[in-house]
A and B are shown apart, each in its own frame.
Chain A
Amino acid sequence: MNLLEFARGPAFNFALIVFVFGVVWRLAGLFLQWRRRDLSKPRQHNLIVAGTRAMLMRSLPPHELEKHIVFQHMSGYAWHIAWFISLLFFAPHLPFFKQFLGFAWPALPNWISLGAGAVALALLLTLVIRRATNPVLKQISTWDDYISVVLTILPLATGFLAYGRLLPIRYETLLALHLLSICALLVWYPFGKLMHLFLTFPSRFQAGALLGRKGVEA
């Protein structure tokens, strides 16, 4: 078994099992853990509105800090969107999704999906360097932050290396490294901050609903 066979077979299989198990475990653990019944009188009855409002409003930068965090905020949105464009609309990726879903969707022209990938890669590298050098960000960063961002960068970087044959290494080795970087991402996903993909909006909704019940506009 060569490296590519290992990456496409046992490694990916293991990563997928860990990913599914971990994500379902964490989601079930959180969603089945009902809060205690609150016997106080609710200040607001329509908690769905309160939750939805918080979910949307907290997706915008707080007005007071807007000027100071505009780069952080906008670059965060930009790389997320660009990353998902390159993941979901780069033509060679579509057979990957089709094997699970049984269907695929039209790809974007390569110059768009590759351009999006380049934007995501550049922004992610800038942000991780900034995190490591900015005194405030450095203070509030943990290993989880660095591991999560590096594991997000690696599939992009190895993808470009494989597609463009940017290193004097055989293509199958580069493709295997690309797949292994995805495996690493999947394995880490449920246990680190990357889990925010599944938890960001539910937690914002819940915070908004709870605060709304107490009459606080979140």
Chain B
Amino acid sequence: MSVTGDGGAGQTLIRIRNLSKAYVRGEQFIPVLQGLDLDVRRAEFVALMGPSGSGKSTLLNLVAGIDKPSGGSIIVGGVDIATLSEGALADWRAAHVGFIFQFYNLMPVLTAFENVELPLLLTTLSRRERKAHVAAALDMVRLTDRVDHYPNELSGGQQQRVAIARALVTDPTLIVADEPTGDLDRVTGGEVLDLLDDLHRQLGKTIVMVTHDPKAAGRAERMVHLEKGVLVPDPAPGAV
């Protein structure tokens, strides 16, 4: 099954072809993704949905370059990341991917400012430039009054906003979000989704989000469903 975008090649940011991923545990071969094709357009907000074990997080990890496929190709911005060496892949992630995790994954010993600054340490920006970028990112998530606070001094929603600032501070091509509202209450989750919406609409960011929550998925432009490692057709609009 394939789900490919309708835009021209120039508009396609992610082009996945015949992607497969399997794990070997002892003598057991466990296929997770099988022969998957998927296109994501530049500036598109895509929600990956599916039951537990369907392979959506695995797909997200492969698209983000933190895992290697067993077969097929993942071309992001013209680069087949499946062929990159580990070091090159790390550099590619630093330059092109922003991460948002379910449990925020902030460094507990670093302040909000320092957490947001962390990906910038991998760039050639000067200290002053980094400071300006971090201030802008924290302003975008409305946390300028919390720059010196440590994660344990922030609420869950605030921590996720810091994580969003960290994801966007390098101005990445792609933002991947794994259950970004999974650990938040409905109201705070809504605020986080508003922020993702802003990133998509105002900054034109391409966002790929894994979620169980149909309401969260409803904020995306497009939903992609996975079941047992294969894509299934989009439900009709309004079916969610």
The answer to whether A and B belong to the same complex is no
What residues of chain B have their CB less than 8 Å away from a CB belonging to chain A?
A: none
